[in-house]
Amino acid sequence: MKVQLSRVPGRRVAVRTVMTAGVAVAALVAGSAGATAQSRPSAKPTVVLVHGAFADSSSWNGVVTELLGDGYPVVAAANPLRGLHSDAQYLRSVLAGVKGPIVLAGHSYGGSVMSEAADGDKDVKALVYIASFAPDKGESTSALAAKFPGGQLGEALNEVPVTVPGAGAGTDLYIKQDQFRRVFAADVPRREAALMAATQRPITSAALDEKATRTAWKSIRSWFLITRQDLAIPADSMRFMAKRAKSRTVEIDASHAVTVSEPDAVADLIVEAARATTR
């Protein structure tokens, strides 16, 4: 099922936050909620959020605020961005520490990680892909990004040599700061986008090129938020992945940084998924 909207109507006031360490208060709130969720089962499922490349957990701050306001326990995981399989292993350890049912939401590359990590996890009741990737076995994130025309992220990247612990020499990828808002966050105010560009977290090229070995979306119900103004992942690529996963799909006019620019729309879809798991 697909719904097309200029924006998803929210029952809340959107909270716009900056994706930077400067928003430590909101991050601490999320962390506190996560610790509570891990120590005490809740009547509502715990929402676990997985950020993608060029971002960190604070990119979810506006979404976290909305979900906490609705009474959902929340854990915003710190995705290492070092390698698909090692990132998924880390996420599995996070999920193992959460008591009770889980709704798992991933943004961008975070969708690739959660698809790998959640396969076979009986506590994960729903997957929510937010401007995201949902690879099949044998597919890489980079291949899916290039499957359809329209993506402009590749030409905006800087490559920086790096030593990856346990893996030796590698390459970190950053978005050029003068290109960041255009290709990643066009609907975010300029000052916020500049802070996001300065505080972005790199991803290794190896992580984007690693092929998936597991596909949680084949056994777990999924939802997909497609961002029509996205220059990082072409909308047609997202539609392709959502269709084959048989996801409940919503489309919105937003950039790739939809968790920052439209947190209420993102939270609405996550809440829809969460409510569907308790019926």
Q: What is the sign of the dihedral through the CA atoms of 211, 214, 219 and 225?
A: negative
Nearest to 211 by CA among 68, 88, 93, 45: 88
Residue 236 confidence (pLDDT) above 90: yes
Could you tell me which residue, 1 or 224, shows the higher pLDDT? 224
- Predicted model pTM: 0.86
Confidence band for 85, pLDDT divided at 50, 70 and 90: very high
Cα separation, 268 vs 246, whole angstroms: 19
User: Does residue 158 sit in helix, strand or coil?
Assistant: strand
Amino acid occupying residue 61? N
The domain segmentation of the chain, as residue ranges, is 2-277
Kindly state the DSSP code that residue 104 receives in the 8-state scheme.
E
Cα separation, 48 vs 84, whole angstroms: 18
Nearest to 173 by CA among 208, 140, 217: 208
Whole-number pLDDT of residue 28: 37
In the numeric block, which tokens belong to residue 128? 């929510």
Confidence band for 19, pLDDT divided at 50, 70 and 90: very low
Residue 14 confidence (pLDDT) above 70: no
- Among the four given CATH numbers 3.40.50.1820, 3.90.180.10, 1.20.140.160, 3.90.1150.50, the one describing domain 2-277: 3.40.50.1820
The residue behind tokens 């048989």 is 246
User: Does residue 87 sit in helix, strand or coil?
Assistant: helix
> What rounded mean pLDDT belongs to the chain?
88
Whole-number pLDDT of residue 193: 98
> H helices of 47-98, where?
61-69, 84-96
Could you tell me which residue, 34 or 151, shows the higher pLDDT? 151
In the numeric block, which tokens belong to residue 172? 């970190």
Comparing 2-6, 59-63, 106-110, the range with the smallest average pLDDT is 2-6
Cα 177 → chain centroid: 21
Residue 148 confidence (pLDDT) above 70: yes
Q: Percent of the chain scored above 90 by pLDDT?
A: 81
Nearest to 133 by CA among 146, 123, 120: 146
Comparing 23-37, 63-77, 78-92, 107-121, the range with the smallest average pLDDT is 23-37
Residue 20 confidence (pLDDT) above 90: no
Confidence band for 164, pLDDT divided at 50, 70 and 90: confident
- DSSP H/E element including 203: strand 203-204
Whole-number pLDDT of residue 37: 42
Q: What's the pLDDT tens digit per position in 175-230? A: 999 999 999 999 999 999 999 999 999 999 999 999 999 999 999 999 999 999 99
